[in-house]
Structure 1
Amino acid sequence: MFRPLPLVFLLCCSVRTSPWTHRYCSVTRSPFPFCQRYLHLREPSRQVSSTDTVTYEELKQMISDGAVKLFDVREPDEFSNGSIPTATNIPLGTVQEAFSLPVDVFEETYKTEMPTKADGSLVVYCRSGTRSLKALNILKGLGYSRARHYPDGYLGWVAHELGI
């Protein structure tokens, strides 16, 4: 009986022989189920509720009202190539450390006001929504219970702005 290969196998492993006999990742040389390079694809993700996300229209209104603390979790080189107005860059790899800093150190380092744990105006975004969801999970774990993310990311923002 033919059984299709799991999606993670197809994304990670190149098949040199037949897909039924190839059971290790040709990139990392580890056995397929344990390939570390794409382990994040198998991580359980928490369900995202509508209260955890911000739409383009909501974000646009929040920016125009000055009622948002917007953080871009892309890398600095991505941020320097363009960002949503009023955003502050805090790369995903430093989110946990940054939001664990004392308020005065955070504000001195990032030149913006540190959001409170109950602040509903805290929004994170990235290029297309994947890293911002990870950042959201980190923030929720740190106690930022009302933090939200913009799932369309910078690409969605640009598309909306250009009317695409």
Structure 2
Amino acid sequence: MASSVTKVISFEDLKALLGKSEHLFLVDVRTKDEVDKGYIQGSVHIPLDTVDAAFSMAPDKFKEKYKVTKPLCDAPELVFYCMMGMRGTTATNKAYELGYVNARNYTGGYKEWSVKEKK
């Protein structure tokens, strides 16, 4: 079962990646209303109910829709997040099912991020 292989990333590790990694692909799976109230800088908004379709798209269609290059299945730093971790877990598991072997979930979600970043 995919959920047993879900990898997670901590606030500290994500913050470090945001500061140094050019390969980080950070995906916000919350609703548009949630994102409108705040998000982690540099993230791409792909709502949870569209993750399967988005990551199944051809690279050119993905770029056209999301204005960023679709990550490869072996992308080293693919991270999903939501508000508190549950939807991020679902999205991470879906990514694994689609072959994204390094997908991780930021379990603290935007709730933890906004507290620690004083947003």
SS of structure 2 residue aligned to 1:123: strand
1:3-82 superposed matches below 5 A: 46-47=3-4, 52-65=7-20, 66-82=22-38
CA distance in 2, matches of 1:45, 1:100: 17
Q: Which has the larger radius of gyration?
A: 1
Shift, 1:156, TM fit: 0.7
Verify the 8 A CA contact 2:23 2:76 in the aligned structure 1. Answer: no
Provide Cα deviations, 1:13-33, integer angstroms capped at 9, x if missing partner: xxxxxxxxxxxxxxxxxxxxx
Higher fraction of helix: 2
Q: TM-score, normalised by structure 2?
A: 0.92
Consecutive unaligned residues of structure 1, counting only runs of 5 or more, are 1-43
In the alignment, structure 1 residue 149 sits paired with structure 2 residue 105: yes
- The match for 2:55 is 99
Aligned residue pair count: 117
User: Which amino acid is 1:89 matched to?
Assistant: H
SS of structure 2 residue aligned to 1:124: strand
Gap change, CA 1:135 and 1:83, over 3 Å in 2: same
C-alpha RMSD of matched pairs (Å): 1.5
- The match for 2:42 is 86
**Residue number among 101, 110, 115 corresponding to 1:159 in the alignment:** 115
User: Which amino acid is 2:37 matched to?
Assistant: N
- The match for 1:135 is 91
- The match for 2:69 is 113
More relative contact order, 1 or 2 (CA 8 Å, 6+ apart): 2
Provide Cα deviations, 1:111-155, integer angstroms capped at 9, x if missing partner: 112110011211000000000000011100000011111000000
Consecutive unaligned residues of structure 2, counting only runs of 5 or more, are none
User: Which amino acid is 2:3 matched to?
Assistant: R
Shift, 1:158, TM fit: 0.9
Gap change, CA 1:129 and 1:154, over 3 Å in 2: same
SS of structure 1 residue aligned to 2:3: coil
